[in-house]
Structure 1
Amino acid sequence: MFISLDLETEEPIYTQLKQQIIEGIAKKELKPGEGLPSVRSLAADLGINLHTVNKAYQQLKQEGFIQIHRQKGVVIHPDGVQKADESYYTTLSAKLRPLIAESICRDVSLDEFQKLCLQIYKDFEKRSES
């Protein structure tokens, strides 16, 4: 999996890293049980602080995407990611609300918003099938 960070954006580096790993899992580029680089190794490869990588890994661990073992290192959760439940939908709704509000403020129609969401969703489905 290729990781590309934008050091000029306002988005924190650890968030970019976390999101790209989640995208790799969604696209099936990273499979359950597959190893990820160590904190030190990934930080050195990307030229970023190891605490930044550690923060991304810790959040991914808390959210159930990865496991961190003393002997095996960092691996994609071997059982796969936990399926969506009521708690996840509550969190998803909270994350979408500001995006939808901003879209409405910018005169993005419901149809345009839905088309964009559908396009992105289908893009992930295509990549995970190949």
Structure 2
Amino acid sequence: MIIKLNTTSATPIYVQLRNQIVIGIGRGDLKIGQGLPTVRQMAEDIGINMMTVTKAYTILKNEGFIEIDRRHGAKVKPTALLTGDFTEKIESELALLITESSLKGIEKEHFLKLCDEMFDRLNISSIAGGNI
């Protein structure tokens, strides 16, 4: 999996790294049980500070996307079940995204079409038996 970070973006590097890994898992580029590079190796490969990688890995672990074992490193974790906390997060993020889209003139039908196209483009429905 190739990690692409935008150093000029307002989005912090650790968030970009976290997002890239989540998308990689969702698309199937990273398989359940597959090991991720060590913190040191990831930092060297993409040219960032090790603490930045550590922060991204910690967030991924806390969110249930990876598991970290001192002997075996970080590995992609089996998909966790939907929780109330995650549902609240989705609702909150969607509320903001829908509001911003509406304020920029995007109609509901266009917004939903964009969501449908993006979902298909990312090929998410084949992951976890379509239970995402």
Normalising by structure 2, we get a TM-score of 0.91
Matched position secondary structure for 1:108: coil
Q: Tell me by how many angstroms 1:50 deviates.
A: 0.7
Confirm or deny: 8 A CA contact 2:119 2:125 kept in the other structure: no
Confirm or deny: 8 A CA contact 1:18 1:60 kept in the other structure: yes
Confirm or deny: 8 A CA contact 1:42 1:53 kept in the other structure: yes
Q: Tell me by how many angstroms 1:127 deviates.
A: 9.2
Counterpart of 1:22 in structure 2: which amino acid? V
Partner of 1:122: 120
Confirm or deny: 8 A CA contact 1:29 1:128 kept in the other structure: no
Partner of 1:41: 41
Matched position secondary structure for 1:83: coil
* Structure 1 gap segments, 5+ residues each: none
Q: Give the ranges of 4+ consecutive aligned residues of structure 1 lying more than 6 Å apart after TM superposition.
A: none
Q: Does 1:2 align with 2:5?
A: no
Matches within 5 A, 1:20-99: 20-77=20-77, 80-99=78-97
2:73 & 2:84 partners in 1: Cα distance?
A: 31
Deviations 1:38-89 (A, max 9, x none): 1111001111011110100000000000011011011111xx1212233321
* Structure 2 gap segments, 5+ residues each: 128-132
Confirm or deny: 8 A CA contact 1:25 1:31 kept in the other structure: yes
Normalising by structure 1, we get a TM-score of 0.92
1:3 & 1:21 partners in 2: Cα distance?
A: 8
Q: Tell me by how many angstroms 1:124 deviates.
A: 1.8
- Root-mean-square deviation over aligned CA pairs: 1.5
Aligned residues: 127
The percentage of aligned residue pairs carrying the same residue is 39
Confirm or deny: 8 A CA contact 2:17 2:53 kept in the other structure: yes
